[in-house]
């Protein structure tokens, strides 16, 4: 029980009857068959003086409450925040009968309650609520992120606080050894697919591979930077096995709407030019304002693309992927569907359209939890 197990769980671990466990915990009286025994008390380390209230602090609180001192006076004398004292009285005190606005505070009982709450580990919220656990697992299987799941829980169960949690709670339920609250294989449904958490690493710097007739991002219209007007796109390629296959990705900056470019015959500049022209030409004219790309050699024929679509192309600075942040983020999402080290040429046009539709119907935090399709429709309605 000192390790955080309940009485029933502790009895199962030790291998004794529940009645025996209660006698060990509460002590027993002497009779003709056995001697008296004191109760077993968990040994909890001293809480110290810096962060936790000590027993002397609690005695001081009880004395000053009997003297009708205010919460702020007590807090000032102990060098604590008033909220700390108020919370201590509510958590470890007892409301008086007939008057819930007044509290009876006994310092030794309060110390005992505080010590009883300290042992770890404690059962997690996900493991204690089957309905919550099933909801999270279903949406992880649909490749929702933990933060999207948390937002959906608050929206769908707004009047049920027991169904609310933070995304870090879901990560803990997946990654912390020994908790077993979520199936470990669900980590493959996360963006990274990692079975262990890793620190962020700095992105590899890309060297410029094209410098002919480029118009740099510094010359891009200001309306593209503030994302207020739809029609400005960011583009890139995700590369397949041995750099022999690719899929083009286009992201509209205002709505994060995704369009995928089919490249079944590779990423030669002429192939990329033709595929981009085919994809962009299907868009209405007011959604073809600009395209921002990195300095990859696949855009060597960018002037021919601009002539055919009346859509200027702007290039990022070398080693500056944040200048196309929406596109970089989308490429990370797409790797769930098109993993690294696989042949991307096997995917059909229909498969790409299905993946784009799934991404465009997924709520996004950056859009105040609207979907890209909803945001784009709203922007177009406003513009018209």
Render pLDDT for 254-304 as a digit per residue (tens, 0 to 9).
999 999 999 998 899 999 999 999 999 988 888 999 999 998 889 989 999
Ordered DSSP codes for 13-65: HHT--HHHHHHHHH-B---SSS--BPPP-------TTTTSPPHHHHHHHHHHH
Residues 253, 257, 260, 261: what is their CA dihedral angle, to the nearest 10 degrees?
-50
CATH classification of the domain holding 340: 3.30.420.10
Q: How many angstroms separate the CA atoms of 169 and 174, rounded? A: 9
Same domain, 171 and 266: no
Element (H, E) at 258: strand 258-261
Same domain, 274 and 365: yes
Same domain, 239 and 369: yes
Strands 246-252, 313-315: pairing kind: unpaired
Contacts of 23 (CB under 8 A, 6+ apart): 37
pLDDT of residue 177: 56
Alpha helices for 102-209 (secondary structure H):
107-117, 125-128, 130-141, 146-156, 167-175
Domain extent, residue 179, equals 125-189
pLDDT of residue 275: 94
Mean model confidence pLDDT for the chain = 85
Residue with tokens 């909801």: 135
Q: How many angstroms separate the CA atoms of 262 and 373, rounded? A: 21
pLDDT of residue 98: 62
Same domain, 169 and 266: no
Please state the rounded mean pLDDT for residues 340-357.
93
pLDDT of residue 384: 62
- Domain for residue 221, yes or no? yes
Please state the rounded mean pLDDT for residues 246-253.
94
Q: How many angstroms separate the CA atoms of 213 and 200, rounded? A: 36
Number of domains in the chain: 3
- Domain for residue 200, yes or no? no
301 pairs with which residues across the strands?
Answer: none
Render pLDDT for 136-151 as a digit per residue (tens, 0 to 9).
989 988 889 899 999 9
Same domain, 185 and 226: no
Same domain, 132 and 230: no
Same domain, 227 and 376: yes
Render pLDDT for 72-93 as a digit per residue (tens, 0 to 9).
999 999 999 999 999 999 888 8
Render pLDDT for 191-228 as a digit per residue (tens, 0 to 9).
777 767 766 554 444 455 555 678 899 999 888 888 88
The answer to whether the bond into 121 is cis (omega within 30° of 0) is: yes
Q: Identify the residue with better confidence: 339 or 50.
A: 339
Render pLDDT for 315-329 as a digit per residue (tens, 0 to 9).
998 888 899 999 999
Q: How many angstroms separate the CA atoms of 317 and 305, rounded? A: 20
Same domain, 236 and 375: yes
pLDDT of residue 238: 94
Render pLDDT for 366-383 as a digit per residue (tens, 0 to 9).
999 999 999 988 888 876
Same domain, 262 and 313: yes
Render pLDDT for 13-41 as a digit per residue (tens, 0 to 9).
899 998 888 888 888 777 777 777 777 76
Return the DSSP state at 257: -
């Amino acid at each position: 029980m000192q390790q955080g197990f309940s009485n029933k769980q502790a009895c199962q671990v030790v291998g004794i009857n529940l009645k025996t466990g209660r006698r060990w915990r509460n002590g027993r009286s002497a009779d003709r068959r056995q001697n008296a025994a004191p109760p077993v008390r968990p040994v909890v380390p001293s809480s110290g003086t810096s962060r936790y209230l000590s027993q002397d602090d609690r005695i001081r609180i009880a004395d000053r409450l009997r003297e009708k001192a205010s919460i702020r006076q007590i807090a000032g004398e102990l060098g604590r925040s008033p909220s700390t004292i108020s919370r201590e009285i509510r958590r470890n005190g007892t409301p008086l009968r007939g008057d819930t606005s007044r509290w009876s505070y006994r310092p030794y009982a309060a110390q005992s309650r505080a010590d009883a709450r300290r042992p770890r580990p404690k059962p997690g919220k996900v493991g204690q609520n089957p309905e919550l656990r099933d909801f999270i697992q279903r949406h992880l299987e649909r490749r929702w992120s933990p933060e999207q799941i948390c937002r959906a829980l608050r929206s769908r169960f707004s009047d049920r606080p027991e169904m609310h949690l933070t995304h870090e709670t879901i990560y803990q339920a997946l990654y912390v050894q020994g908790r077993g609250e979520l199936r470990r294989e669900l980590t493959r449904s996360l963006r990274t697919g990692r079975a262990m958490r890793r620190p962020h690493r700095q992105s590899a710097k890309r060297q410029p591979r094209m410098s002919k007739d480029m118009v740099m991002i510094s010359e891009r219209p200001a309306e593209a930077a503030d994302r207020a007007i739809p029609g400005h796109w960011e583009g890139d390629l995700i590369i397949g096995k041995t750099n022999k296959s690719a899929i083009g990705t286009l992201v509209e900056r205002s709505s994060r709407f995704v369009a995928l470019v089919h490249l079944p015959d590779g990423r030669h500049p002429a192939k990329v030019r033709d595929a981009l022209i085919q994809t962009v030409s299907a868009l209405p004219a007011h959604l073809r304002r600009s395209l921002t790309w990195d300095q990859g050699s696949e855009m060597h024929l960018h002037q021919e693309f601009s002539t055919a679509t009346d859509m200027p192309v702007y290039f990022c600075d070398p080693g500056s992927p944040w200048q196309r942040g929406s596109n970089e983020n989308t490429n990370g999402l797409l790797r769930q569907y098109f993993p690294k080290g696989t042949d991307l040429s096997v995917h059909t046009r229909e498969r790409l359209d299905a993946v784009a539709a799934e991404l465009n119907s997924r709520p996004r935090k950056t859009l105040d939890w609207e979907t890209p399709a909803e945001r784009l429709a709203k922007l177009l309605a406003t513009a018209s």
